[in-house]
Structure 1
Amino acid sequence: MRLLKGVLVASFATLGLWVLPANAQSVTQAQVGALVEALRRAAPQTGQANDGLYSDWKVKGENIPRWSRFCTGREMTPAQFQANPQQARAIMNCIVEDLLKEEYAASGNNERTAVLRSAAWWMTGDSTQYNSSAIAGYTQRVLSFYEQERARR
């Protein structure tokens, strides 16, 4: 079971950690930062003020206490996460690093596929759905933003 759950899907009942295979591709901080920024840029705009999603990444409120405790050792409320973009980005980097490492391993160390799988997981909780018609537009948008960010880094 994974530590993180997609932005728009229900959260885990339990906290799980995983171990990467010894041959898993290590990811760079530039790759992590590029994916964090790509997810921010591709975040869905609901048009609703109180949609239950927080920060520029549109994170479900129920994920924030668990993620912040895992990444910083201190639990944050959704309001604190929303009010502190620097801390929110640090937590996003922590979560996305684990996600990207896992998706690199699952993709046979293919960067493009790992990004698509990460985007699918972020949106649906199922990384294998990256080519499904329901979210292919979103995953391709994330990949495009990721490639733009990688070109800058």
Structure 2
Amino acid sequence: MRLLMSTLLASVSLGVSALAVPAQQSVSNTQVAAMVEALRKAAPQTGKVNDGLYSDWQVQPGTVKAWSKFCLKKELTPTQFENNPATARQVISCITRRELDKQLRAANNNETAAVNGVACWWMTGNYRGCNSGFTAAYVRKVVAFYQQQRTKPSTTQLWK
């Protein structure tokens, strides 16, 4: 009887506390696709063929290895990443989903603030501080491309 009461009491308090927490909306495939495409379009073009950055998203070699290990559970070389656009998009989509989800939660589902945070993080590794110079221009570019993508139907395939 004592165990039954403890279990019942725990269940009720867990149920009540779950009601008190507002439900967090998960990031949608459309949002991820728009962000992935915005990052691709805004990627800095160095004008050099062998600039040390890989794929349409201009990703650094160490980042390719870490992100592919996180998303694919196996490490890709920068060359593998560069030579397989579908796999590159899969990895970028995975990381974008993770970061956009974090930023949507941090910004109370304010989509523009979340996109700003992800764009800043993408360029600098920090979610904030892209208020001037090159990084501010880059973030504005990403936000504009994102909004452009959000106004049209998504035809980009994503992988979870």
> 1:131: how far off?
2.8
Match of residue 126 from structure 1: 126
> 1:22: how far off?
7.2
Gaps of 5+ in 2: 1-20, 154-160
Match of residue 96 from structure 2: 96
C-alpha distance in structure 2 between counterparts of 1:136 and 1:62, whole Å: 24
C-alpha distance in structure 2 between counterparts of 1:74 and 1:133, whole Å: 36
> 1:151: how far off?
0.8
Structure 1: which 4+ aligned runs deviate by more than 2 Å? 21-25, 130-134
Identity among equivalent pairs (%): 47
C-alpha RMSD over aligned residues: 1.6
C-alpha distance in structure 2 between counterparts of 1:80 and 1:66, whole Å: 14
SS of equivalent to 1:129:
coil
Q: Which amino acid aligns with 1:140?
A: R
C-alpha distance in structure 1 between counterparts of 2:27 and 2:46, whole Å: 31
Gaps of 5+ in 1: 1-20
Aligned pair count?
A: 133
TM-score, normalized by length of structure 1? Answer: 0.81
**Relative contact order, CA 8 A, sep 6+: which one is greater?**
1
Q: Which amino acid aligns with 2:43?
A: A
Task: Give the number of the structure whose alpha-carbon radius of gyration is greater.
Answer: 2
TM-score, normalized by length of structure 2? Answer: 0.78
